[in-house]
Amino acid sequence: MAKKKKEEIEEIKAPISPISPLFSNVVAVFSHPDTVMLDFGFLAPSYRKPYSVEDSQIARICLPWDSAELLSESLSDTIAARKKEQESKRRPKSKK
């Protein structure tokens, strides 16, 4: 088996099959000195006594702190842009 040179980069192709979007909630966020864990799932009210909220975990995403910070910044920027867009739509245009 021949070794690859450091300069060579092997491309890993992702499957092209269409992916259906999945809507869920962030159920929990845990932190550890090395990672941040995000649990995604569905929250549904329980109709059995005692009444409570039942959750169903779909996925757990583990991120190193630097990736979690980048995600936080990206989400903050996206939310701020959305708020700014919504505010401009609500304001009546002034006639000059």
Q: Supply the pLDDT for residue 35.
A: 96
Kindly give, in sequence order, each residue whose CB lies less than 8 Å from that of residue 57, ignoring residues fewer than 6 positions away.
Answer: 27, 39, 40, 41
Q: Supply the pLDDT for residue 45.
A: 65
Helices (H), the chain: 65-90
Span 42-89, pLDDT tens digits: 766 666 667 666 667 788 999 999 999 999 999 999 999 999 999 888
- Listed by start position, the domains of the chain span 25-88
Q: Supply the pLDDT for residue 76.
A: 96
State pTM to two decimals. Answer: 0.58
DSSP 3-state of 60: strand
